Amino acid sequence: MELELKHPLAFVPTMGALHAGHQSLITIAKSYAPNVLVSVFVNPLQFENPDDLAQYPRDLDGDAVKAESAGATFVWSPTIEEIYPAQPSIINAGELGNLFEGVHRFGHFDGVLTVVKRLFDLINPQFAVFGEKDFQQFFLIKKMVKELALPIEIIQAPIVREADGLAMSSRNIRLTSDSRTISLVLSRALESAAQEIDINKARKVLHEVLRAEPGFTIDYAEIIDENDFTLATEATLSPRAIIAGWINDLRLIDNMQMNCGGTR
Ligand code: PAF
């Protein structure tokens, strides 16, 4: 598919299977630039598990309709040869790439940064929009852009939730009806922890709510400083709780700003 570039350009990179969360990124992108390019590319480099890559939902025709109805001016679905014509030089996500998500998804963030940098090089957008749902990803992309002094403004888009609180994700279509009920434990735990103004209490509540749901297996549940990803203390001005875990063979993540720490 020929790449059509008109500037000023806001870019929304995706792996497809678009939902209302992606559409909100497109709407936000449109408020920054008249031209909005949405890419749909399932990046093999960021999948540490071949089954997860094989099962990743794909619906290019549906994606084009959803992207255009949200305001995209161009939907681009590059081939693997276009993105990686030669062996790519991998961008190392550094120490943080091996923490939290990185512990459980070895090499994942190296793959994400490598493809995002490659997409930026091909497109040269003035703006790029990323969802807060993948908060560690957002943080690492912002850090890369700063360190490489790329002339791109990175826009942070809030999480879009279902009416009952579940954060939207392309993987949600794999939830059975029982797992769908269990999945609400993530937002429930975050909402409960966000009620607490004492950080130790917030951490305790986060874990208590998650542990009370036997169908959910925790990978991690922490409160970090969203400015540097260190563990939050009572002095932290911008604490954010981050959660990941399993419901049967499906891994879900979520996060939320907290009200504990130095914010009060
Ligand atoms: O968040 C995603 O969908 C992907 O990680 C991204 C940023 C499109 C890179 O493949």
Provide the pLDDT for residue 8: 97
Query: What distance in angstroms lies between residue 214's CA and the mean position of ligand 1's atoms?
Result: 30
Q: Using a 6 Å CB cutoff, which residues line ligand 1? A: 13-15, 43, 46, 112, 115-116, 134, 137
Q: Are residues 123 and 198 in the same domain?
A: no
- How many Å apart are CA 126 and CA 89, to the nearest integer? 24
Atom 5, ligand 1: which residue's CA is nearest? 112
**Whole-model pTM above 0.85?**
yes
Task: Decide if 155 contacts 29 (C-beta within 8 A).
Answer: yes
Tell whether the torsion through CA atoms of 69, 17, 45 and 101 is positive or negative. positive
Please report, for residues 14, 46, 59, 128, 156, the alpha-carbon distance to residue 232 in angstroms, rounded to integers and kept in the order given.
Answer: 30, 28, 40, 28, 21
Q: pLDDT (tens digit, 9 = 90+) per residue, 65-76?
A: 999 999 999 999
Q: Are residues 39 and 131 in the same domain?
A: yes
Provide the pLDDT for residue 264: 47
Q: Which residue among 125, 157, 189 closes a domain?
A: 157
Please report, for residues 45, 183, 220, 246, the alpha-carbon distance to residue 217 in angstroms, rounded to integers and kept in the order given.
Answer: 26, 11, 9, 5
- How many Å apart are CA 24 and CA 70, to the nearest integer? 8
Q: pLDDT (tens digit, 9 = 90+) per residue, 223-239?
A: 999 999 999 999 999 99
pLDDT band at 132 (very low <50, low <70, confident <90, very high): very high
Atom 3, ligand 1: which residue's CA is nearest? 14
Tell me whether residue 188 is exposed, middle or buried, using C-beta atoms within 10 angstroms of its C-beta: 0 to 12, 13 to 18, 19 or more. middle
Query: What distance in angstroms lies between residue 112's CA and the mean position of ligand 1's atoms?
Result: 6
pLDDT value at 107 more than 70: yes
Among residues 7, 22, 104, 108, the one annotated as catalytic is 22
Judge whether 189 lies within some domain: yes
Ligand 1 probe mutation, 11, 43, 90, most atoms within 8 A of CB: 43
CA atoms within 13 A on the CB side of 78: 21
Q: What is the CATH number of the domain that holds 247?
A: 3.30.1300.10
Cis preceding linkage at 8, omega within 30: yes
Q: Which residue among 129, 157, 185 closes a domain?
A: 157
- Residue 175: which domain range? 170-258
Q: What is the CATH number of the domain that holds 150?
A: 3.40.50.620
Query: Is there a catalytic annotation at residue 22?
Result: yes
Percent of residues, the chain, with pLDDT higher than 90: 94
Task: Decide if 137 contacts 113 (C-beta within 8 A).
Answer: no
- How many Å apart are CA 175 and CA 248, to the nearest integer? 9
Q: Beta strand 239-247 with 250-257: parallel, antiparallel or unpaired?
A: antiparallel
Q: How many structural domains comprise the chain?
A: 2
Tell me whether residue 2 is exposed, middle or buried, using C-beta atoms within 10 angstroms of its C-beta: 0 to 12, 13 to 18, 19 or more. exposed
Q: Are residues 16 and 132 in the same domain?
A: yes
Closest CA to 137 of 14, 4, 260: 14
Q: Are residues 97 and 128 in the same domain?
A: yes
Q: Are residues 182 and 249 in the same domain?
A: yes
Query: What distance in angstroms lies between residue 3's CA and the mean position of ligand 1's atoms?
Result: 19
Q: Are residues 32 and 153 in the same domain?
A: yes
Q: Are residues 228 and 129 in the same domain?
A: no
Query: What distance in angstroms lies between residue 41's CA and the mean position of ligand 1's atoms?
Result: 8
Judge whether 224 lies within some domain: yes
Task: Decide if 221 contacts 252 (C-beta within 8 A).
Answer: no
